[in-house]
Chain A
Amino acid sequence: MKFTIDWLRQYVDFDFTPQQLSDQLTMAGLEVDAVDELYRDLEVIKVAEIIDTHPHPNADKLVLCDVMVGDEEKRIVCGAPNARKGLLTAVALPGTVMPGGFKIKKSKIRGEVSLGMLCSAKELGVSEESSGIMELNEFNAKSGQSLLEAMGLQDILVEVDLTPNRPDCASVIGTAREVAAMASTPLKLPVDEGSLPTLSGSIAFSVDVVNPEFCPRYVARRMTGIKVGPSPWWLQKRLLSVDLRPINNVVDATNFIMLEYGQPLHAFDFTTLADSKIIVRTAVDGEKFTTLDGQERTLDASMLMICDGKSPVAVAGVMGGANSEVTADSTELLLESACFDAISVRRTSRNLKLSTDASYRFERGVDPQLAPVAMARLVSLLEEIASGTVDDDGVDALVAPIVPLDLALRVSRTNSLLGTTFSADQITDFMTAIGMEVSLADDDTLTVTVPTFRVDIVREVDLIEEVARIFGYNEISTSLPVVPMSFAEQDSGRALRKEATALLTSLGCYQAINYSFVSPEHADQLGLPADDEGRNTVSLLNPLTEEQSVMRRSLLPGLLENVRRNINFQSSSVRLFEIGKVFEPVADNVQPNEENHLCVVLSGLRYGTAPELHFEQSAVDLFDIKGVGQSLLSGLRLSQIVFSDNSSVAPYVDGAETLALAVGDETIGCIAKVGKECLQKFSIKQDVYFLDINFDRITALQQASKKFVPLPKFPAVQRDIAILVPESCPASDLVEAIATKKEKLLEHVSLFDVYQGKNIKEGFKSVAISVTYRAQDKTLADKAVTKVHQRMIDLLLKKFDGHLREM
């Protein structure tokens, strides 16, 4: 909603500065978005008088003009057809920067010196008029005067970001009403609402409202003797100031009054209306109709149309039709000032994808009392500016008498909801300040009569909001709620997620957040087969771009894109993780499954940006990601999750370097090296390792409880074994074999070296294992340890077909 200060002053007197006005409106719930001085860049444009013209010696279409700017005479070359002796026009002198940024210089045009430029309205950004230079004689302008002053253009534009509940303020008068309440001054209205003509319907046309449920009121009058032409400047100026293009006096008058009162109006060329009839009815399915903008539109049975005796002539409350448009030759008009149902207009506007200033207002609600008022204003304006004559009578088709709403407002309820201590008198004062009528029903209850323009106030609570608004939200005191104490529950997954993110950051990983919607191409980049389940995604009906058109099934592609981006920006050592939702479709009109996943990606150097001084750097490998996984799982105390053979290797995974993460028989994730082909598709040239796990599945698991074990009282003995086993034998099997052997003295077993190469037989590797023995009740004797240890050695030799290697 836009208006100018000068325009506002037409209806209300106030002393506020533009800044004060802006603050007051904002604090009253009419948030001011911008306050701008209009045409500020035109301050340097002057009025010039052409005192003589001469033909240009070298160009037929150019004229040499001798102009006076104040008392200075200048020669300016001009190509406008209306450049003539005696014309007052606008001049931009050398040094002037035009609204488009172009700087005027002293120049030579076809060999003739020109000391400036005579300007058209379009060149100055005043209007669209570009057929000639500006004509200022009718403004009583003086040569040398500033153009702003001469045309009365100086004004300040205010833009309000109107909330949908205040359609009454979608007009300059509506805003003025709020300002009048703030300034405690009366509202000055252009129409005396007490002396509106009675419209009884004895007329030269008929109005039939077939669907009154969509059209509670329809006021129509006929005018004859209309002379269509340009609007007077004051009217054009108002429209231009709010970025509306003047068209002709009839259309401009309807637009102006819509902005002034908030009542959309329409003028039909009366002679085009078949049978001199107006029928307000819903359309026939499939019916075609061409709107004023020249678009042919297909109607459906829910749309309310204004029709003549034969066919539609306007989409009710949205836009008129080309067939009944007012043209330069129109002399008879049928004027419409109606009230249409908000939902009906909104639905029609949506279905036609056609939103107009009229539909904007109807959708939010227009006061049905306004229709005859705006009609009176329109008639008088057209009498004044289009020399029309109105028929004595007209139509006011009103479905039901309009009765202002009476609401009960309880003082106690108001105070308990707001936390205030207002008296009935105070509340009465607040209400009357904004045009409500108040009477006392009982000690605690006021009866408030709501003016019809406040279409948003229909309940007691709406009145309570008005009490708060008029008193001032800021003035209401502050307290803290007194609520019985109870335990503040946490969402179940949240605590574990916080634990996991803390662990991962301590492992050197940065948290990423990617969009939940991704490109459908991710499936191709991952190399998923055509029938892969992972291609089954939730798609958006109205994505912003193709790249954000489906909900993700996996976090990995987003993170791979992050890896590439970071490499491109010279951060080639990347450790990122994301915990977020993936979405699996279930069925149409059913919410999809949402599962939290955790994905970690590692690429580049192991210690990233850490100084090489202390950390021997090399590229990350599978054991880095496995280590991250192990640290995470042990930190979360989830020992039931184990690494196992990955039996279902995804196409984007290097089959030689992957392990599944499993709980019992169920795979809940994996670690892997990203396959070469997939990396190519993501344009990544270095190895990337990832961990991907269903985090909701983890959340469902029981974290191991913390249980104390008494500290040992007797010393432990450590013995090592080095054994040569076939290359194919997994080293962890050896450790496992000892660990699972139920040996009473065994405390701990760990792998400490695996070696292949020099001095080791081809096809074999050396595995070194450290075993710790301890007795709970005595210091172990060497002999006893040796005995047990030998049993372990024998076990390994036998089970794994190994040989002892000299340590």
Chain B
Amino acid sequence: MQDALLRLQQEADTDLAAISNADQLESFRVKYFGRKGPFTQLMRQLGAAPKEDRPKLGKMANELKLALQGRFDEKKVDLVGSLAAAGPQLDLSLPGRQVPQGKLHPVTQIMEEICAIFEGLGFSVAEGPDIETDFYNFEALNIPAHHPARDMHDTFYVDDSTLLRTHTSPMQARVMETAEPPLKVIAPGKVYRCDSDITHTPMFHQVEGFLVDKNVSFADLKGVLRVFIAKMFDESTAIRFRPSYFPFTEPSAEVDIACVMCGGKGCRVCKKTGWLEILGAGMIDPEVFKKVNYDPEVYSGFAFGLGVERIAMLKYGINDIRLYYENDLRFLRQF
């Protein structure tokens, strides 16, 4: 019996070593561990062995079976592994399983970028109505009826006293009449001008900003806008401030940056000047403060307004403003 066990072990080891494919693995399993296999037979024969030898033999047979099972499993893992490695090769150049993502409209992206810079400087964000009263859009901003500056605003009217806001500046008056300085506010939103050609759409987006406190100066305005432009464009972007006119600021300024297309050498985009106008700004006019009962002798402040589409055009090189509102996926996917 003991001999038979040893023979079985030798035979099984030889067979195991010879296995090289899945079929052989399976026939080995059937041959040795099947219902009609040698271990089953040996167990049956165990009854014929002397009684005192039975436990020892039984243990031997069991150990042998377990050891063989272990070696078989090892072989199986080995074999399956090598079989898999030899299988069809994975084409790693195939695209990943990328779940489709959408994107924000480029105008929103730029608007958020602008807001984030000013939020970083501690400005609050306020929004106001698109359909404004004549009072907030004009009167409160020192643009009375029959003021020539109304020509600068091609206004869509709803009726005598309501209109589509032509700028986000009405938020200056709206915020100031409900809050006390110090104020640091930006107001992003849609604005409307009754003007449509290759460089104008009748609706566009602006971000208004203003800061009011004691002892705020024109130098402060320059400082804040310099930080903004450095963050929005490039730390080295050249800037110039030049006199302009807005009825609600005095002094008023236009701010130009060195043309991002030609680097200031002069090109079609900058009309050969090397400069691009990107925002209007100024010190808030005393008349605006009087309208909201701030004492202009005590408080001063600055305000600025920038066109979001224009900045998007400059940053992304968009050359046709009509694309903004067609919502063509071929356009929206680019940003």
Question: Which A residues are closer than 8 A to B by beta carbons?
Answer: 26-29, 31, 33-34, 163-166, 342-343, 346-347, 350, 363-364, 416-420, 459, 461-462, 464-465, 468-469, 473-474, 476-481, 483-486, 488-491, 493-494, 498, 501, 504-517, 538-544, 548, 551, 559, 562, 565-566, 569, 571, 574-577, 581, 583, 588-592, 594, 607-611, 613-615
B-chain residues with CB within 8 Å of residue A594 when the two chains form the complex: 129-131
**Across the interface, do A459 and B286 meet the contact criterion of CB distance under 8 Å?**
yes
The reply to whether the CB of B126 lies closer than 8 angstroms to some CB of chain A is: yes
15 new A-B contacts at CB < 8 Å, known A483-B184, A540-B158: A474-B241, A476-B222, A488-B119, A488-B124, A491-B126, A491-B127, A505-B104, A506-B101, A508-B100, A512-B332, A539-B158, A559-B327, A589-B159, A592-B131, A613-B94
Q: Given A508-B102, A565-B327, decide whether A31 and B129 contact each other with a Cβ distance below 8 A.
A: no
* Given A479-B219, A515-B203, A566 contacting B146 (CB threshold 8 A): no
Neighbour of A465 across the interface among B94, B129, B250, CB < 8 A: B250
For A559, what are the chain B residues with a Cβ–Cβ distance below 8 Å?
Answer: 327
Contact residues, B149-172 vs A (CB, 8 A): 149, 151-152, 156-162, 164
Per-residue CB contact flags for chain B residues 185-223 toward chain A (1 = under 8 Å, else 0) read: 000001010101000001100000001010111111011
Q: Is B329 in contact with chain A by the CB < 8 A criterion?
A: yes
Q: Which residues of A contact B194 (CB under 8 A)?
A: 542, 544
Report chain B residues within 8 Å CB of A343: 146
Q: For residue B126, which residues in chain A have a CB less than 8 angstroms away from its CB?
A: 489, 491
- A419-B224 in contact (CB<8A): no
Q: Are A540 and B105 in contact (CB under 8 A)?
A: no
- Please determine whether A417 and B124 come into contact, CB atoms closer than 8 angstroms: no
Whether A419 lies near B217 (C-beta < 8 A) is yes
Whether A614 pairs with B102 at a CB distance below 8 angstroms is no
Closest Cβ–Cβ distance, residue A177 to chain B (whole Å)? 16
Check A468–B132 contact: CB distance below 8 A.
no
Which chain B residues (283-322) contact chain A, with CB distance < 8 Å? 283, 285-286, 300
Question: In the complex the two chains form, is B108's CB within 8 Å of A513's CB?
Answer: yes
Task: State which of B105, B152, B156 has its C-beta within 8 Å of the C-beta of A511.
Answer: B105
A508 — which chain B residues lie within 8 A by C-beta?
A: 99-102
Contact A468 B218 (CB under 8 A): yes
Chain B residue total in the interface (Cβ 8 A): 87
Residues of chain A within 8 A of B254, CB atoms compared: 31
Q: Which residues of B contact A611 (CB under 8 A)?
A: 95
Can you list 29 residue pairs at the A/B interface with Cβ under 8 Å?
A: A27-B242, A164-B149, A164-B152, A417-B217, A464-B251, A465-B250, A465-B251, A468-B251, A474-B241, A476-B241, A479-B223, A481-B216, A501-B104, A505-B101, A505-B103, A508-B101, A510-B327, A510-B333, A511-B105, A511-B332, A513-B107, A515-B203, A516-B203, A517-B156, A539-B158, A583-B131, A589-B160, A591-B129, A608-B100
Cα distance A576–B329 in the bound complex, in angstroms: 9
Could you tell me the distance between the alpha carbons of A615 and B103 in the complex, rounded to whole angstroms?
20
Question: Smallest CB–CB gap between B209 and chain A, Å?
Answer: 12
> Taking A462-B250, A509-B102, A514-B327 as contacts, is the C-beta distance between A346 and B146 under 8 angstroms?
yes
In the complex, what's the smallest C-beta–C-beta distance from A479 to chain B, in angstroms? 4
Give the shortest distance, in Å, between B173 (CB) and chain A (any CB): 14
Interface residues of B (CB under 8 A from A): 94-95, 97-105, 107-108, 112, 119, 122-127, 129-133, 146-149, 151-152, 156-162, 164, 182, 184, 190, 192, 194, 196, 202-203, 211, 213, 215-220, 222-224, 226-227, 240-245, 250-254, 271, 273, 283, 285-286, 300, 324-330, 332-333
Rounded to whole angstroms, the CA-CA distance of A491 and B126 in the bound complex is 5
Return the contact of A490 from the options B98, B99, B124, B192 (Cβ within 8 A): B124
CB-based contact B148/A164 at 8 Å: yes
Q: Which residue on chain B has the smallest CB distance to residue A571?
A: B329
Chain A residues with Cβ under 8 A from B156's Cβ? 517, 540-543
B243–A465 touching, CB < 8 Å: yes
> A486-B182, A515-B325, A548-B202 given as contacts; is B98 within 8 A of A363 (CB)?
no
Tell me, in angstroms, the Cα distance from A539 to B203 when the chains sit together. 16
Closest-by-CB residue of A relative to B144 is A343
Report the minimal beta-carbon distance from A209 to chain B, rounded to whole angstroms.
21
Closest to B274 in A: A23
Task: Tell me if A469 and B251 are in contact (CB < 8 A).
Answer: yes
Cα A478 to Cα B223 in complex, Å, equals 5
Bound Cα distance from A478 to B105, whole angstroms: 34
Report whether B242 and A613 are in contact in the complex, using a CB–CB cutoff of 8 Å.
Answer: no
Q: Report how far A479 CA is from B222 CA in the complex, Å.
A: 7
B161 in contact with A589 (CB, 8 Å): yes
Residues of chain B with a CB closer than 8 A to A34's CB: 271
In contact, B148 and A514 (Cβ under 8 angstroms): no
A590 and chain B: residue at smallest CB distance:
B162
Contact A512 B327 (CB under 8 A): yes
CA distance A538 to B156 in the complex (A): 12
Q: Is B328 a contact partner of A565 (Cβ separation < 8 A)?
A: yes
A346-B226 in contact given A461-B285, A592-B131 (Cβ < 8 Å): no
B100–A473 touching, CB < 8 Å: no
| A491→B111 CA distance, assembly (Å) | 15
Cβ of A29 and Cβ of B129 under 8 Å apart? no
Tell me which residues across on chain B come within 8 A of A513, comparing CB atoms. Answer: 105, 107-108, 324-325, 327
Contacts of B130 in A (CB 8 A): 516, 581, 583, 594
Contacts of A347 in B (CB 8 A): 146
Chain B residues with Cβ under 8 A from A515's Cβ? 202-203, 325
The smallest C-beta distance from A477 to any residue of chain B, in angstroms, reads 5
Instruction: Decide if B164 touches A540 in the complex (CB within 8 Å).
Output: yes
Q: Which residues of A contact B213 (CB under 8 A)?
A: 481, 483-484
* CB proximity of A119 to chain B, nearest CB, Å: 31
Which one of B98, B148, B283 lies within 8 Å of A417 (CB-CB)?
B283
Query: In whole Å, how far is B149's beta carbon from the nearest beta carbon of chain A?
Result: 5
Partner of B133, one of A516, A542, A566, A591: A591
Task: Verify B253–A541 contact, CB threshold 8 A.
Answer: no
* Distance of A265 Cα from B184 Cα, bound (Å): 50
Residues on A with C-beta less than 8 A from B244 are: 29, 31, 163
* Nearest Cβ on chain B to A31's Cβ, whole angstroms: 7
The interface residues of chain A lying within 8 Å CB-to-CB of B157 are 540-542
Known contacts A491-B126, A513-B327, A591-B131: A610-B100 contact under CB 8 Å:
yes
Knowing A548-B202, A591-B133, the reply to whether A473 touches B253 (Cβ < 8 A) is: yes
Complex: chain A residue closest to B190, CB-CB: A516
- Whether A477 lies near B219 (C-beta < 8 A) is yes
A477 contacts across to B, CB distance below 8 A: 219, 222
Residues of B within 8 A of A507 (CB): 102
A614:B325 contact, CB within 8 angstroms: no
Residues of A within 8 A of B129 (CB): 591, 594
Contact A541 to B103, CB < 8 A, known contacts A565-B326, A614-B97: no
Residues of B within 8 A of A615 (CB): 97
Q: In the complex, which residues of chain B have a beta carbon less than 8 angstroms from the beta carbon of A483?
A: 122, 182, 184, 211, 213, 216
Which 5 pairs show the lowest CB-CB distances between chains A and B? A419-B219, A29-B243, A419-B217, A163-B245, A465-B251
| Given the contacts A416-B300, A614-B95, A607 and B325 also touching, CB distance less than 8 Å | no
Do B100 and A481 touch (CB < 8 A)?
no
Which residues from A are CB-within-8-Å of B122?
483, 485-486, 488
Chain A residue contacts of B158, Cβ below 8 A: 538-541, 592
For the complex, what is the distance from the CA of A543 to the CA of B131, rounded to whole Å? 14
- Collect the chain A residues with CB atoms within 8 Å of residue B182's CB: 483-484, 486
Closest A residue by C-beta to B132: A591
Q: Are B125 and A490 in contact (CB under 8 A)?
A: yes
How far apart are A444's CB and chain B's nearest CB, in angstroms? 14
Q: Name the A residues within 8 Å of B161 (CB-CB).
A: 589
Considering only CB atoms, which chain A residue lies closest to B112 in the complex?
A498
A394 to B328, CA, bound (A): 69
Selected from B124, B127, B243, B245, the residue in CB contact (under 8 A) with A28 is B243
Q: Which one of B126, B132, B220 has the highest number of Cβ atoms from chain A below 10 Å of its Cβ? A: B220
The CA of A29 and the CA of B176, in the complex, are separated in Å by 29
